[in-house]
Amino acid sequence: MINQRILAHFQESAELKMAAASVLAQPIAAAVELMFSALSNGNKILCCGNGGSAADSQHFAAELVGRFERERLPLPAMALTTDTSIITAIGNDYSYNEIFSKQVQAFGQAGDVLLAFSTSGNSANVLAAIDAALDREMRVVAMTGKGGGAIGKKLTEADVHICVPHDRTARIQEVHLLTIHCICDGIDVALFGGDVHD
């Protein structure tokens, strides 16, 4: 019984990734281009999300500040999910919905990129962060699922929406993880040329 459930998870995940590839290749490439342009111009990437998406934010920032698959200079990226003093102070004194937007207001500058994760597309604090980013003339790369929700409706034509065509949170997060790796690889190749696997 449990073996069949495990096999079903693997099969559904693999099928979604193959089905999503043709749908998401173009927006992922657009995200790479947007982030490459920002980093080349001395700007940075701020990341946010809740729960598993918070982990994705930290994962992405770690890959850029540390390394992905090659030795290179650190790249400026920061997860807004990690400073518990800031998060709890804002959550306590203002609202949990402002835990990311106030950090975007503090650290974000015109030309920076906000990488916003929300599997539902409806996370109130991520929506507030997007509003703050757009107010500061930042660009947004949003990773969602379930049709994109309110986030999909909020983005401008200058932003990038990577919406996984699925309704199951676990499957959406699995594609988000693969997408993170695609973006990291694309940034490395765009900034430094070649491929570690060539």
Question: Which positions make up the binding site?
Answer: 50-52, 59, 63, 92-93, 118-120, 123, 173, 181
| Burial status of residue 67 (CB atoms within 10 A of its CB: 0-12, 13-18, 19 or more) | middle
Tokens (6 digits) for 65: 């500040």
* Nearest alpha-carbon partner for 46 in 36, 35, 33, 30: 35
Look at the block and give the residue holding tokens 């281009």.
Answer: 33
Query: Residue ranges for the binding site for Zn(2+)?
Result: 59, 63, 173, 181
CA–CA dist 71, 58 (Å, integer): 20
Nearest CA among 123, 133, 136 for reference residue 56: 123
Annotated binding site for substrate: 50-52, 63, 92-93, 118-120, 123, 173
